């Protein structure tokens, strides 16, 4: 299981063309996480003077963001490929209608400005020039891109080539289907914008601000109790503070997962939303706690 996960992660690193190998990137991610954890611990000791979950929150966010960067970049590249895929298929159909060969159609796409898609088509074209047949070249193209849309399209194309049916008309039909699929995806994002923004506001700002106000009030209460009760109050306040921050951590994770499901239809993108929302939430929490605490201290 671990080896399969490592091989999959290694594939992400290679696909995104990061300037580090997989082992080096993992070590850099762990090292940066350790630096952030020690930095937040020092901040707690010399600035906040309290025990809290900041090292856990910021350390987790750093680890997820750094380790998840290859996945995020891979998803961005695939989104770009899928956005250009329908236009590329339409261009291939036009080239075939003009009487040119498969190789000429692929070369037209390679020379066009389709970003990473043109690069991957160039790899398939190079395989053709080295003697491979069209089926093997297109199969290698689909295997190199972790996209369900691309893989399904290539399966249809390969079946069409084997049966000898009209490929130009089929490419046009697939291009229209791909364009409709992309349009539905964009419509989904547009229709869920308000829900998405609400989750950001609730999980990243409103709830942390409320918890920060509660923490400030508890801190003021701890200062005005009698000396005989101070130790007990400090202990209780510290325990409740950890519970509040733990609840905030759970709330952010839940919000990030729901944001991903609402926006993307799956929870894969939560790897992006949770760390960012976690940092925003804890910054809002401490900003609210400090500001309300200063206001209450001034009032008394």
**Would you say 212 and 286 are in contact if contact means Cβ atoms under 8 Å apart?**
yes
pLDDT, tens digit (0-9, with 9 covering 90-100), for 153-191: 888 888 877 776 677 888 888 888 888 887 888 787 788
pLDDT, tens digit (0-9, with 9 covering 90-100), for 95-104: 888 887 778 8
Burial state string for 84-118 with b = 16 or more CB within 10 A and e = fewer than 16: bbbbbbbbbbebbeeeeebeebbbbbbeeebebbb
Mean pLDDT of the chain: 83
- Dist CA 197 CA 277 (whole Å): 12
Closest CA to 256 of 205, 185, 203: 203
Q: How confident is the model at residue 224 (pLDDT cuts 50, 70, 90)?
A: low
The predicted model gives 228-234 an average pLDDT of 52
Residues 6+ apart with CB under 8 A from 256: 203, 270, 273, 274, 277, 278
pLDDT at 31: 95
Q: How confident is the model at residue 32 (pLDDT cuts 50, 70, 90)?
A: very high
pLDDT at 253 exceeding the cut of 80: yes
pLDDT at 22: 92
Kindly report the number of other CB atoms within 10 A of residue 54's CB atom.
21
pLDDT at 184: 83
């Amino acid at each position: 299981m671990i080896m399969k996960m490592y091989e999959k992660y290694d594939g992400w690193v290679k696909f995104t063309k990061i300037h580090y190998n997989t082992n080096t990137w993992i070590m850099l991610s762990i090292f940066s996480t350790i630096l952030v954890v020690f930095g937040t611990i020092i901040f707690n000791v010399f600035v906040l003077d309290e025990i809290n979950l900041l090292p856990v929150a910021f350390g987790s966010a750093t680890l997820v963001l750094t380790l998840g960067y290859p996945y995020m970049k891979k998803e961005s590249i695939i989104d770009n490929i899928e956005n250009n895929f329908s236009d590329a298929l339409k261009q291939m159909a036009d080239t075939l209608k003009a009487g040119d060969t498969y190789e000429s159609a692929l070369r037209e796409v390679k020379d066009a400005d389709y970003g990473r898609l043109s690069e991957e088509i160039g790899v398939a074209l190079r395989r053709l020039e080295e003697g491979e047949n069209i089926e093997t070249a297109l199969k290698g193209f689909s295997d190199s891109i972790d996209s369900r849309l691309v893989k399904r399209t290539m399966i249809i194309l390969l079946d069409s080539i084997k049966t000898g049916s009209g490929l130009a008309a089929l490419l046009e039909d697939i291009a229209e289907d791909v364009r409709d699929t992309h349009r539905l995806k964009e419509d989904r994002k547009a229709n869920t914008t308000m829900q998405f923004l609400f989750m950001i506001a609730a999980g990243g700002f409103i709830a942390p601000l409320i918890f920060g106000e509660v923490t400030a009030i508890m801190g003021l209460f701890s200062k005005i109790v009698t000396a005989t009760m101070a130790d007990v109050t400090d202990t209780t306040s510290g325990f409740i503070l950890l519970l509040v921050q733990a609840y905030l951590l759970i709330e952010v994770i839940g919000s990030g997962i729901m944001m991903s499901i609402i926006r993307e239809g799956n929870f894969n993108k939560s790897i992006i939303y949770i760390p960012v929302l976690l940092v925003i939430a804890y910054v809002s929490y401490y900003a609210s706690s400090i500001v309300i605490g200063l206001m209450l201290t001034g009032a008394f």
